[in-house]
């Protein structure tokens, strides 16, 4: 049942315009964050991350730059979360020092955030407030209403923010799933009612605006998976995002139907499956689930593994399985590996490498291009048109996507509304100002990216300062290793260059033994790992970094250079 929570308002002039500043998620995919202010009250929607590319050594996460909030002394009265994907909640622990009030989200979203609080040593007591669809929360001059939307995971909401100058709709991530797996339907009626009453501005997800038609239901992949279960005599390994709980449920249900056992392999899917089971979003019949250590004790044809690594991440469970380096899961020629996720742009090479290793094991590989084993969680063009038709905003701001996606969404909006809706093509840091009848981009505020080295107790600095502090404090070590492309054997003696790494009696002994350590790390790797530049670089980086930290307490930036000869 809907209910209302209230936070005391601050003083403000009625003439004050509404200010909206996107801090992430525009002209890029991920790192979503938006600040909305009226008078003295500021609220923030989402706080997400980007994951680093391979050429960002020493970087674990990328989060939005919040200098706009810090420099102006703005305190956040409340943080609202639309759903539990990392690109919407991953930065929450890092922005909490700026949040005076509570964090609002659905039960699943907050359960995922709570684990981050625990990991970062933050006290969640009294900070996390559960909400549900049709609930409302009052924060100063804002009344925030939560609307059920469907996506690729449960418990997702859009926001209708009722402000002194009009209603703002933030769609969050959404698609229109007519047959949702959990039976929780998209709230067409409330969106349409808001549209009839008048919506000042809508901020809309643009991720799949370049795809025609409808995205399809999460249940659409069931037929393809059933065909795989029917035709596979060995193990089935399904690689997907750790938050793809609907996909997990479909695989679990088929496993029970075909009398197979399910093992979750990889930290992300293990943790998220436990949270989902506790909240009733993942139902596993008794006797179906086994631990990954038990996989070897069952015939291959009786097992399904759900694992992380669909994007080719070097340290993921699937990458270890692919090079036969996983303790519990081994691939054989009768096995099938299913990539049940869309390749994030930029990850194609890494995914291809993993697929090559899997093929070398003799296992069959199935991905979206071969069978319908993935469906997007974002609405395609017709769904975006439908929501625009329902809401009929006076102003429209495309969000969530690179510039070409935002521009295409702008054209779609103009066609749908016949030009009655004014489109603002904004960028991160743009200061959008709204009155009851006008909207403009009134200059810019500082915006950008902050690189996080998670191993340094969550230190947050800008990109330049992070590198300078890291290099000045601990220095840089660049090991040069030559590996024979054919044999995978190391050639010659590894060479090591240092910059800013303080050399004394203790650290000199580390450098003296580093060449031997690097040779040992290469020798201990499998032939496949040695001939995969991405995997062997990561092995050398982690191995040398751990050894230096163990013996000196320092953590220099380690950037291996692997030359294949």
**DSSP assignments along 165-199, one per residue:** TEEEEE--S-B--SS-TTS----HHHHHHHHHH--
Question: What pLDDT does residue 465 have?
Answer: 46
Q: DSSP secondary-structure letter at 298?
A: S
pLDDT at 5: 55
In the three-class reduction of DSSP (H, G, I as helix; E, B as strand; rest coil), residue 33 is classed as: strand
Are β-strands 33-38 and 128-130 bridged in parallel, bridged antiparallel, or unpaired? unpaired
202 and 169 in contact (C-beta within 8 Å)?
Answer: yes
With vertex at residue 180, the alpha carbon angle to CA 178 and CA 183, rounded to the nearest 5 degrees, is 110
Residues 6 or more apart whose Cβ sits within 8 Å of residue 512:
none
pLDDT at residue number 4: 56
Cα 427 to Cα 21: distance, rounded to the nearest angstrom: 9
- pLDDT at position 55 is 59
- Exposed e or buried b for every residue in 497-527, given b needs 16+ CB within 10 A? ebeebeeeeebeebeeebbebbeebbeebee
Query: What phi, psi does 443 have (nearest 5°)?
Result: 85, -170
The CATH architecture annotation of domain 218-366 reads 3-Layer(aba) Sandwich (3.40)
Strand, coil or helix: 148: strand
Catalytic residue among 205, 292, 430, 453: 205
The CA distances from residue 181 to 107, 108, 262, in Å, are: 18, 16, 19
Q: Whole-angstrom Cα distance, residue 95 to residue 384?
A: 31
| Cα 57 from Cα 53, distance rounded (Å) | 8
Residue 271's φ and ψ, nearest 5 degrees, are: -65, -45
Residues 407 and 26: beta-carbon distance below 8 Å: no
Low-confidence ranges of the chain (pLDDT < 50): 1, 8-12, 456-465
Can you give the length of the chain in residues? 565
Cα–Cα nearest to 115, from 278, 326, 347? 278
- Cα–Cα dist 377/246, whole Å: 11
Catalytic residue among 32, 281, 378, 400: 378
Secondary structure element (H or E) that encloses residue 6, with its range: strand 4-7
pLDDT tens string 448-490: 888 886 554 444 444 444 555 555 567 888 888 888 877 778 8
**Residue 18 contacts by C-beta under 8 Å, 6 or more apart in sequence?**
36, 37, 38, 163, 164, 165, 166, 168, 433, 434, 435
CATH number, span 475-564 = 3.10.20.580
205 carries an active-site annotation = yes
| Cα(104)–Cα(210) distance, integer angstroms | 32
**Average pLDDT for the chain:** 90
Q: Are 20 and 434 in contact (CB under 8 A)?
A: yes
Sheet containing 166-170, strands listed edge to edge, beginning at the edge strand earlier in sequence: 4-7, 136-139, 142-149, 156-163, 166-170, 201-205, 395-399, 422-423
Write out the H or E segment, with its range, that includes residue 490: strand 490-499
Give the list of residues 6+ apart from residue 397 with CB closer than 8 angstroms, or none. Answer: 20, 201, 202, 203, 204, 423, 424, 425, 426, 432
Quote the pLDDT of residue 565. 79
Question: Cα(first)–Cα(last) distance of the chain, in Å?
Answer: 67
Separation of alpha carbons 533 and 562, rounded Å = 7
Domain range annotation of the chain: 4-213+377-451, 218-366, 475-564
Residue-level pLDDT at 508 = 83
Query: What SS3 state is found at 399?
Result: strand
- The first and second tokens of residue 218, run together, are 């999460």
* Residue 479 structure tokens: 């090991």
Q: What is the pLDDT of residue 562?
A: 86
pLDDT of residue 494: 86
Distance CA 397, CA 162 (A): 17
**Does 4-213+377-451 carry CATH code 3.30.470.10?**
no
Q: Is 189 a catalytic residue?
A: no
Asked if 431 contacts 445 with a C-beta cutoff of 8 angstroms, the reply is: yes
Q: Are 158 and 140 in contact (CB under 8 A)?
A: no
pTM of the model: 0.82
pLDDT of residue 367: 96
pLDDT (0 to 100) of residue 144? 98
Can you tell me the distance from the alpha carbon of 4 to that of 153, in angstroms, rounded to the nearest whole number?
A: 25
227-228-233-236 Cα dihedral, nearest 10 degrees: -150
């Amino acid at each position: 049942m809907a209910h209302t929570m209230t936070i005391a308002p601050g003083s403000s002039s009625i003439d004050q315009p509404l200010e909206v500043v996107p801090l992430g998620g525009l002209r890029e995919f991920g790192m979503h964050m938006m600040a909305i202010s009226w008078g003295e009250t500021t609220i923030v929607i989402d706080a997400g991350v980007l994951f680093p590319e391979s050429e960002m050594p020493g970087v674990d996460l990328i989060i939005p730059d919040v200098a706009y909030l810090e420099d102006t002394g703005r305190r956040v009265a409340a943080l609202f979360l639309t759903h539990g994907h990392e690109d919407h909640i991953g930065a929450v622990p890092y922005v909490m020092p700026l949040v005076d009030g509570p964090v609002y989200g659905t039960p699943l979203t907050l359960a995922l955030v709570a684990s981050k609080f625990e990991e970062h040593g933050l006290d969640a007591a009294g900070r996390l407030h559960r909400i549900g669809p049709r609930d409302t929360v009052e924060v100063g001059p804002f009344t925030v209403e939560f609307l059920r939307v469907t996506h690729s995971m449960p418990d997702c909401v859009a926001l209708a923010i009722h402000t002194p100058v009009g209603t703002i709709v933030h769609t969050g991530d959404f698609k229109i799933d007519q047959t949702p797996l959990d039976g929780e339907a998209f709230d067409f009626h409330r969106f349409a009612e808001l549209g009839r009453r008048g919506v000042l501005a809508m901020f809309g997800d643009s991720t799949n605006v370049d795809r025609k038609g409808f995205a399809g239901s999460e249940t659409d992949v069931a037929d393809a998976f059933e065909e795989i279960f029917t035709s596979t005599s060995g193990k089935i390994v399904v690689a997907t995002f750790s938050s793809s709980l609907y996909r997990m449920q479909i695989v679990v249900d088929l496993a029970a139907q075909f009398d197979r056992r399910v093992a979750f392999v990889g930290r992300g899917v293990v943790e998220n499956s436990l949270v989902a089971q506790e909240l009733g979003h993942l139902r596993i019949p008794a006797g179906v689930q086994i631990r990954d250590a038990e996989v070897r004790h069952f015939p291959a044809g009786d097992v399904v593994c759900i694992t992380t690594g669909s994007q080719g991440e070097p340290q993921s469970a699937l990458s270890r399985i692919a090079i036969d380096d996983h303790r519990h899961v081994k691939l054989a020629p009768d096995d099938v590996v299913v990539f049940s996720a869309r390749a994030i742009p930029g990850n194609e090479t890494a995914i291809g490498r993993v697929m090559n290793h899997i093929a070398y094991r003799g296992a069959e590989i199935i991905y979206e291009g071969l069978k319908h084993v993935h469906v997007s969680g974002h609405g395609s063009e017709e769904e975006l048109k439908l929501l625009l038709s329902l809401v009929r905003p006076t102003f429209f701001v495309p969000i969530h996507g690179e510039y070409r996606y935002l521009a295409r969404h702008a054209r779609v909006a103009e066609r749908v509304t016949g030009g009655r809706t004014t489109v603002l093509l904004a960028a991160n840091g743009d200061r959008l100002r709204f009155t009851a009848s006008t909207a403009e981009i009134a200059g810019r505020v500082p915006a950008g990216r902050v690189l996080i080295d998670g191993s340094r107790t969550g230190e947050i600095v800008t990109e330049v300062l992070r590198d300078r502090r890291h290099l000045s404090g601990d220095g840089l070590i660049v090991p040069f290793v030559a590996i024979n492309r054919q044999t995978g054997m190391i050639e010659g003696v590894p060479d090591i260059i240092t910059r800013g790494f303080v050399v004394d009696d203790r650290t000199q002994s580390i450098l003296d033994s580093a060449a031997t350590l690097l040779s040992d790390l290469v020798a201990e790797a499998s032939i496949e790992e040695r001939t995969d530049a991405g995997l062997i670089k990561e092995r050398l980086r982690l191995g040398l970094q751990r050894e230096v930290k163990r013996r000196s307490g320092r953590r220099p930036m380690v950037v291996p250079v692997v030359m294949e000869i």
